[in-house]
C-alpha cells in the first residue's frame, strides 16, 4: 500500500519529533475576554459528568467493559481475525448504548506473523536469551545464522566504525533509555543502518527504562536500497550482559533463528458520531487505536485509549448533553505497523478536513489524567488552558505544549489542525509497552473512571463552545 521509503520516513518523523519540545504552557499573557466567563459557565456540566462517572451509574463501567473486551480478544494484531472480530464487538457496544451513527471504512493493512524466535549465546558461554522480532522483520535462513556480535552505543559510533569490522556480524545497539522519542530511533532505523554497513542481523536493547527480563517489540522499517536483515529486541539484562563481556575484550558469538510471514489483509477504521445540534458538519474527534502487538493483550496500548474514547459519546448521550458540534469517536486500525488507518482516513476525508475543529488521541496509557499535551497557535493554547482550569478538582489542569501531540493525530496536527493527546501519570508506561506485560493488571478502575470523565468533559466543552478553535 505504501512504499518502503514512505513508511520509513513517516515513522522516523513521528517518533523523532513527538514531544521533543514539550513544556508547561504559561497562560499569564492570555487575553480571552468574555470567553473566560463562557468557559467558566461549564463548571456545573463538568461536575455533572465527573460525578456521573466517578460516583454515579457509570462508576467502574469503563474498566469493566475494557476487561470484558481484553479477556475476550486478547492481542489484536493488524490483519488478524481477532482484530476484525473485536471491531464488530465495538460496533455492537456502541449500538447497545443507543449510538447508531456508526460506520466502518475499509483499509488495506499488513499481516505480519512471527514464528519461532530463538537467540542463543555460544561464546564465551552458552546462554539462551529472550527475544522479540521487530515488526515486519525478515526471517533468518532455515537453520538460523551464527555470527559475532558488535556492540554499538549510537549511530555516530556505527558510522565511525570501519565497514570491515561490521560486515558479516550482528550489530547490537545498546542505547540507554532517556525519552522514547530520543531512544526509539535505534529500533525503527537500526536494522537499515546496520545493513548498510554489511551486518547480517540487528539486535536492540529494548526501548524501555525497566525490565524483568522481558523484551519489548515494536515497529522497524527497511530503507530502499538496503538489504533487509533480521531485526529483534532483547532484554535490558541480556543486552547489558553482552555489553560487559564485549567491553572486556571477550568474543561474543550468538545463533539467531527467526521465522515470520508478511501478507496483506483488509481491516477497518470505525467512526461513531454523536451528532451536533447546531453545526453537525463540524467535528471534535476523540480517538485511539484498536490494533495491538501480538504480545501481551493490548490492554494499555491501546485498549484504555479506545475505551475512554468509547465512553465520551456514550456518557454524553446518556446525560443528554448534546454539544453544538459533532463528537466523532474513531477507533484507528493498524497504528502499530505504520499509522496506516489514520492515513487512509485522511485520504478518504480530505474534503472535510477543514471541518475538524479539534482532534484528540489517547495512546500513551490511561493512568491518572494530569491534563493535555496540545499543539495550536497561542490563542488555541490559551483556550485549552482555560478549559483545563475546570479540572483542578481531579488534578488534571496542566497543559503541555508540543508541536506534535500523539502519534495517529500527528498526521492532522502537522497540517495546522489543532489537537491534543492525554497527558497522564504514565511514568511506568514504558515498563509494559509492547511486552507480554501489557495486560489488565496495568489498569485500575479509578484511573479509567478519571480518564473517561476527563476525556468526555473536555471533548464536550470544546465541541460546544460558541467559537471554533482557531488554526
**Annotated catalytic residue, options 130, 335, 386, 443:** 335
pLDDT tens digits along 316-358: 999 999 999 999 999 999 999 999 999 999 999 999 999 999 9
pLDDT tens digits along 93-108: 999 999 999 999 999 9
pLDDT tens digits along 41-89: 999 999 999 999 999 999 999 999 999 999 999 999 999 999 999 999 9
The model's pTM is 0.94
Go through the domains of the chain in sequence order and give each one's CATH number. Answer: 4-110+264-464 (3.40.630.10), 113-261 (3.50.30.30)
**Which H, E and C letters describe the chain, residue by residue?**
CCCHHHHHHHHHHHHHHCCCCCEECCCCCCCCCCHHHHHHCCHHHHHHHHHHHHCCCCCCHHHHHHHHHHHHHCCCCCCCHHHHHHHHHHHHHHHHCCCCCEEEEEEEEEEEEEEEEEEEEEECCCEEECEEECECCCCCCCCCEEEEEEEECCHHHHHHCCHHHCCCCEEEECCCCCCHHHHCHHHHCHHHHHHHCCCCEEEEECCCCCCCCCCCCCECCCCCCCCCCCEEEECHHHHHHHHHHHHCCCCCEEEEEEEEEEEEEEEEEEEEEECCCCEEEEEEEEEEECCCCCCCCCHHHHHHHHHHHHHHHHHHHHCCCCCCEEEEEEEECCCCCCCHHHHHHHHHCHHHHHHEEEEEECCCCCCCEEEEEECCCHHHHHHHHHHHHHHHHHCCCEEEECCCCCCCCHHHHCCCCCEEEEEECCCCHHHHCCCCCCCHHHCCHHHHHHHHHHHHHHHHHHHHCCCCCCC
pLDDT tens digits along 243-252: 999 999 999 9
**Which pLDDT belongs to residue 21?**
52
Residue 38 annotated among the catalytic residues of the structure:
no
Amino acid at each position: 500500500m505504501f512504499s518502503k521509503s514512505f513508511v520509513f520516513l513517516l515513522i522516523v518523523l513521528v517518533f523523532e519529533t513527538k514531544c521533543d519540545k514539550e513544556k508547561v504552557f504559561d497562560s499569564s499573557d492570555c487575553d480571552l475576554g468574555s470567553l473566560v466567563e463562557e468557559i467558566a459557565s461549564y463548571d456545573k456540566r463538568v461536575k455533572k459528568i465527573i460525578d456521573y462517572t466517578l460516583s454515579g451509574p457509570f462508576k467502574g463501567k469503563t474498566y469493566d467493559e475494557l476487561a470484558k473486551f481484553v479477556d475476550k480478544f486478547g492481542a489484536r494484531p493488524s490483519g488478524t481475525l481477532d482484530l476484525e472480530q473485536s471491531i464488530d464487538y465495538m460496533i455492537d457496544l456502541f449500538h447497545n448504548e443507543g449510538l447508531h451513527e456508526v460506520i466502518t471504512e475499509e483499509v488495506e493493512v499488513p499481516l505480519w506473523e512471527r514464528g519461532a524466535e530463538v537467540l542463543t549465546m555460544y561464546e564465551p558461554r552458552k546462554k539462551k536469551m529472550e527475544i522479540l522480532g521487530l515488526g515486519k522483520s525478515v526471517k533468518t535462513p532455515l537453520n538460523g545464522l551464527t555470527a559475532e556480535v558488535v556492540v554499538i552505543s549510537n549511530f555516530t559510533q556505527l558510522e565511525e566504525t570501519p565497514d570491515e569490522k561490521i560486515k558479516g556480524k550482528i550489530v547490537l545497539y545498546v542505547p540507554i533509555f532517556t525519552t522514547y522519542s530520543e531512544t526509539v530511533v535505534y529500533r525503527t532505523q537500526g536494522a537499515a543502518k546496520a545493513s548498510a554497513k554489511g551486518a547480517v542481523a540487528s539486535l536492540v536493547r529494548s526501548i524501555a527504562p525497566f525490565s524483568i527480563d522481558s523484551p519489548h517489540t515494536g515497529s522497524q522499517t527497511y530503507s530502499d536500497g538496503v538489504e533487509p536483515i533480521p531485526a529483534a529486541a532483547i532484554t535490558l539484562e541480556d543486552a547489558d550482559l553482552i555489553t560487559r563481556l564485549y567491553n572486556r575484550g571477550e568474543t561474543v558469538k550468538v545463533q539467531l533463528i527467526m521465522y515470520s510471514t508478511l501478507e496483506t489483509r483488509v481491516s477497518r477504521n470505525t467512526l461513531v458520531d454523536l451528532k451536533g445540534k447546531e453545526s453537525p458538519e463540524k467535528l471534535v474527534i476523540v480517538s485511539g487505536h484498536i490494533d495491538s502487538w501480538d504480545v501481551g493483550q493490548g490492554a494499555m496500548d491501546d485498549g484504555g485509549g479506545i475505551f475512554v474514547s468509547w465512553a465520551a459519546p456514550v456518557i454524553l448521550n446518556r446525560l443528554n448533553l448534546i454539544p453544538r458540534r459533532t463528537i466523532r469517536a474513531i477507533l484507528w486500525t493498524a497504528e502499530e505497523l505504520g499509522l496506516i488507518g489514520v492515513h487512509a482516513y485522511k485520504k478518504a476525508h480530505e474534503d472535510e478536513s477543514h471541518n475538524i475543529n479539534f482532534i484528540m488521541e489517547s495512546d500513551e496509557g490511561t493512568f491518572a489524567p494530569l491534563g493535555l499535551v496540545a499543539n495550536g497557535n497561542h490563542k488555541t493554547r490559551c483556550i485549552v488552558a482555560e478549559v483545563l482550569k475546570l479540572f483542578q478538582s481531579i488534578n488534571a489542569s496542566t497543559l503541555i505544549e508540543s508541536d506534535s501531540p500523539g502519534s495517529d493525530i500527528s498526521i492532522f496536527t502537522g497540517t495546522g489542525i489543532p489537537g491534543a493527546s492525554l497527558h497522564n501519570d504514565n511514568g511506568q508506561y514504558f515498563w509494559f509497552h509492547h511486552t507480554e506485560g501489557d495486560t489488565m493488571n496495568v489498569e485500575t478502575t479509578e484511573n479509567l473512571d478519571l480518564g473517561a470523565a476527563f476525556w468526555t468533559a473536555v471533548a464536550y466543552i470544546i465541541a460546544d463552545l460558541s467559537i471554533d478553535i482557531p488554526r
